[in-house]
Amino acid sequence: MSSTLKKAAAGFATAALLVGGLAACSSERGGGSTPEPTDGTTSETSDAPEEPAAEVASVGIAMPTKELERWNRDGAHLEALLKDAGFETSLQYAENKVDVQISQLQNMVNAGVDVLVVASIDGTALGPVLQQAADNDITVIAYDRLINDTENVDFYATFDNYRVGTFQGEFIVDQLDLANQAGPFNLEPFAGSPDDNNAKFFFAGAWDVLKPYIDEGKLVTPSGKAPASNDDWATIGIQGWKSETAQSEMQTRLNSFYAGGEKVDVVLSPNDSLALGIAQALDGAGYTPGDDWPILTGQDADQANVLNILAGKQSMSVWKDTRDLGDRVAEMIKSLAAGEEVEVNDTETYNNGVKVVPSYLLDPIVVVKDTVEEILVGSEFYTAEDLGL
Ligand code: BGC
pLDDT at 12: 29
Averaged pLDDT for residues 35-60: 44
**Which pLDDT tens digit goes with each residue over 297-331?**
999 999 999 999 999 999 999 999 999 999 999 99
Rounded to the nearest angstrom, the distance between the alpha carbon of 271 and the centre of ligand 1 is: 7
270 CA closest ligand 1 atom index: 10
Q: Of ligand 1's atoms, which has the minimum distance to the CA of residue 145? A: 7
Residue 374 DSSP code:
I
> Do residues 121 and 105 make contact, with C-beta atoms less than 8 angstroms apart?
no
Per-residue pLDDT for 47 more than 80?
no
Instruction: Let me know if domain 3-7+50-153+321-362 sits in CATH 3.10.290.10.
Output: no
pLDDT at 152 over 70: yes
Ligand 1 centroid – CA 156 distance (Å): 15
Band (3; pLDDT cuts 50, 70, 90): very low
User: Of all protein residues, whose CA lies closest to atom 5 belonging to ligand 1?
Assistant: 241
Which atom of ligand 1 is found nearest the CA of 161? Answer: 8
* Ligand 1, pocket-test mutation among 241, 273, 314, most atoms within 8 A of CB: 241
Strand 365-368 versus strand 316-319 pairing type: antiparallel
pLDDT tens readout for residues 260-297: 989 999 999 999 999 999 999 999 999 999 999 999 99
Strands 185-189, 219-220: pairing is parallel
pLDDT for residue 45 is more than 60: no
**Which CATH superfamily is 161-320+369-375 part of?**
Response regulator (3.40.50.2300)
pLDDT score for 69:
87
Query: Could you read off the pLDDT of 338-388 as tens digits, one per residue?
Result: 999 999 999 999 999 999 999 999 999 999 999 999 999 999 999 999 999
Contact 26, 57 (CB under 8 A): yes
339, with CB counted inside 10 A (0-12, 13-18, 19+), is buried
Q: Is the pLDDT of residue 389 over 90?
A: yes
Question: What is the predicted pLDDT for the residue at 4?
Answer: 39
- Please give the mean pLDDT across all residues of the chain: 88
Q: Measure Cα distances from 34 to 15, 77, 86, 127, 381 in Å.
A: 21, 21, 9, 31, 32
Q: CA nearest 55: which of 6, 123, 5?
A: 5
For a ligand 1 pocket test, name from 65, 200, 299 the mutation site with the most ligand atoms within 8 angstroms of its C-beta.
299
Going by C-beta distance under 8 Å and a sequence separation of 6 or more, which residues neighbour residue 363? 159, 160, 163
Measured from the CA of 198, which atom of ligand 1 is nearest? 7
* Pocket lining for ligand 1, CB < 6 angstroms: 68, 70, 144-145, 196, 198, 241, 271, 273, 299-300, 320
Angle at CA of residue 273, ends 271 and 274, nearest 5°: 70
User: Rounded to the nearest whole angstrom, what is the distance from the C-alpha of residue 273 to the centroid of ligand 1?
Assistant: 9
Distance CA 56, CA 114 (A): 10
CB atoms within 10 A of CB 85: 16
Mean pLDDT calculated for residue range 141-150: 97
Which residues, at least 6 apart from 158, have a Cβ–Cβ distance to it below 8 Å? 142, 143, 144, 145, 146, 198, 325, 350, 359, 360, 361, 362
pLDDT tens-digit map of 65-78:
999 989 999 999 99
For residues 313 and 270, give the distance between their C-alpha atoms in angstroms, rounded to a whole number: 16
List, for residues 19-36, the tens digit of each pLDDT value: 333 333 333 323 333 333
Please give the backbone phi and psi of residue 159, each rounded to the nearest 5 degrees, phi first.
-90, 160
Indicate the domain borders of the chain.
3-7+50-153+321-362, 161-320+369-375
Q: Residues 30, 36: contact at Cβ < 8 Å?
A: yes
DSSP assignment of 40-59: S--TTSTT--SSPPS---EE
Does residue 320 sit in helix, strand or coil? coil
pTM: 0.86
Shared fold status for 3-7+50-153+321-362 and 161-320+369-375: yes
Ligand 1 centroid distance, CA of 94 (Å): 15
Ligand 1: residue whose CA is nearest its atom 9:
300
Are 268 and 172 in contact, with CB atoms under 8 Å apart? yes
Q: What is the mean pLDDT of residues 137-164?
A: 97
The answer to whether 145 and 313 are in contact (CB under 8 A) is: no
For residue 343, the CA-to-ligand 1 centroid distance in Å is 24
